[in-house]
Amino acid sequence: MSATRQRGYRRVTSTAVAFIGAGVLLAGCTGNTPESESGGGGGNDVASSNDEEGDTVRIGFSAPAADHGWMAGITEAARAAADEYGDIELTVAEGTNDVSTQISQVETFINDGVDAIVLLPFDGAALTPVALQAMEAGIPVINVDREFDSPFAARATILGDNYGMGVSAGTYICEQVGDNPNAVVAEIAGIDSLPLTQDRSQGFEDALSECGLDVDNRVAADFTVEGGEEAAANLLQAAPQIDALWNHDDDQGVGVLAAIQNAGRDEFIMVGGAGSANAMREIESGESVLQATVIYPHTQAADGIRLARLVAQEKSLSDLTSPEVPRRITLNAPVVTADNVDQYIDRAFES
């Protein structure tokens, strides 16, 4: 694989950036055990020449600590994706929220001479220099979820669509209550200082404006159950009437639903975010204010593992004419409701 690594860094400067809604595309291009449904590594796989076992690819994977249902799902799905291939040797570093520790993990991967690195950085800016070191060493880096500061720090970047989440949530609420110009819309965001939260809120605001609505009441939480419950309790006290509520995150949504139940409120519809299994079970029950959730794929790292394999083996996505893996892939943010929950619940993560 040394020749592949030597070519990897040069390739990053010449490949055009591609924006692709790749939830279906990736699933249709890789995977030599299509029947596998566990871990969310992809279940709609179609056999192609990419499925043929090739040279062994040694992949190093590092992500933050699994202190959140979505993050736990990220690592679980990455392992499951690697298990589908006989030509992947995956080394998973212990999840950490310490930047220095994660930098050391990547340095170890570089020193070990892995063929590719899949990296979900705790802090994209802080991990950019070590990712650049890997690329300069000829080791392709697949950047997941939280972007680096430099386009040269990754061979490919795979992302969820935070702005698109807000658009999807706002569009759904417009469909449900948009015929009422006086509808009261509330929002429970995540951590306001994070760009991802800002992007979600902006998409939500933009979508609501299309049907003449805006956000009347807004609070921020911290992506935890406790934070969600506290923020929701404050919101419900401040807003005696609500018609629709969007909560950014299904993990904190466990606390949000608890606060709603404690307050005895059920006059509004609620939309969740991320797509947890417990949120989908609430939707499926038909007995909850939670009527929908917007997917933020926990399969990003699983797709990153598959992309790393393709890059290291000098393959592309079989559904594309272009001979190389795209530089950038943004996954879709679909809305899950009672009408389509059966399509998503089997691969959802647990909060």
For residue 316, what is the domain's CATH number?
3.40.50.2300
Domain identity same for 129 and 202: no
Cα(50)–Cα(73) distance, integer angstroms: 25
CA trace torsion 125, 130, 131, 133 (10° rounding): 140
Cα-trace Rg, the chain:
21
Contacts of residue 213, Cβ cutoff 8 Å, sequence gap at least 6:
173, 174, 177, 178, 181, 183, 185
> Considering only 10-19, 83-92, 197-206, 268-277, which range has the smallest mean pLDDT?
10-19
Domain identity same for 154 and 219: no
Domain identity same for 18 and 76: yes
**Containing structural domain, residue 199:** 162-295
As a whole number, mean pLDDT of residues 40-59 equals: 70
Domain identity same for 190 and 241: yes
Domain identity same for 126 and 203: no
Domain identity same for 98 and 151: yes
pLDDT at 309 (0 to 100): 97
* pLDDT bracket for residue 50 (50, 70, 90): confident
pLDDT at 340 over 60: yes
pLDDT at 350 (0 to 100): 92
Q: Is residue 12 part of a domain?
A: yes
Domain identity same for 175 and 121: no
Domain identity same for 182 and 238: yes
Beta carbons of 49 and 32 less than 8 angstroms apart:
no
pTM: 0.83
Domain identity same for 39 and 188: no
User: Tokens for 60?
Assistant: 């190093």
